[in-house]
A and B are shown apart, each in its own frame.
Chain A
Amino acid sequence: QVQLVQSGPEVKRPGASVTLSCKASGYIFTTYAIHWLRQAPGQRLEWMGWINTGNGDTKYSQKFQGKVTISRDMYANTAYLELTSLTSEDTAVYYCTRGGDRFAYWGQGALVTVSS
């Protein structure tokens, strides 16, 4: 069965960076994109960007350009989300989800807390 397993929660200081992972199983990794989204406390879901897991092409929401980098390791069936220059506004649960014609499969989410 399709599974996306994300790395664990992180606590970071303002100004730091963090890299989250999303390991896929149950399907051929390179045949579906991976998207990253986040949900800050009390806020709506926000789409951050996606990666073509086959060729590595990425597209980001303009809001997150320069803030995030999405990458993948085809051999490890894993996608990554790097966030830099963290602020308290980046405190959120971050989700990966498999692309295609719908977001049917999601990781369990990873809480990133930014606090001094």
Chain B
Amino acid sequence: DIVMTQSPETLVVSLGERATISCRSSQNLLSSSNEKNYLAWYQKKPGQPPKLLFYWASTRESGVPDRFRGSGSGTDFTLTISSLQAEDVAIYYCQQYYSSPQTFGQGTKVEI
């Protein structure tokens, strides 16, 4: 199985400051056939299901504020929140869907 490792586990950021979350996969997630990275990012708040933020590593899901940015390729990916808002407090997960079973990172908790 592909192992997804996120860092840091907890991130404390001031309101309005930048938050950067890393996700590393144990195998390449870039498909040579379609040049797409099979990597998604989710935001999870207590008592709610995960909310999709990005797929194909950098394609923003409809309705996601543009202060969120997904980037990276191959085995190294980043989720950036350019100016943290109070409503961004959550746990963020990366997920690979390159191969089965799809696997998730352990999560990064973002706090203010």
- Which residues of A pack against B, CB within 8 Å? 44-47, 59, 61-63, 95, 97, 101-104, 106-109
B61 within 8 A of A: yes
Q: Contacts A59-B100, A104-B61, A109-B49: A45 and B55 contacting too (C-beta < 8 A)?
A: no
Specify which chain A residues have a CB less than 8 angstroms from the CB of B78 in the assembled complex.
Answer: none
Q: Contacts A44-B106, A44-B107, A45-B95: A103 and B52 contacting too (C-beta < 8 A)?
A: yes
Specify which chain A residues have a CB less than 8 angstroms from the CB of B105 in the assembled complex.
Answer: 44
A94 to B88, CA, bound (A): 24
Nearest CB in chain B: distance from A36 CB, A: 12
A62 to B1, CA, bound (A): 10
Interface size class of B (residues with CB under 8 A): 10 to 19
B50 and A45 form a contact (CB under 8 A) = yes
A104 and B52 form a contact (CB under 8 A) = yes
Nearest CB in chain B: distance from A86 CB, A: 21
Nearest CB in chain B: distance from A57 CB, A: 14
B14 within 8 A of A: no
Specify which chain A residues have a CB less than 8 angstroms from the CB of B42 in the assembled complex.
Answer: 103
Give the residue among A44, A62, A106 with the most B Cβ atoms within 10 A.
Answer: A44
Nearest CB in chain A: distance from B90 CB, A: 14
B52 and A47 form a contact (CB under 8 A) = no
Specify which chain B residues have a CB less than 8 angstroms from the CB of A59 in the assembled complex.
Answer: 100
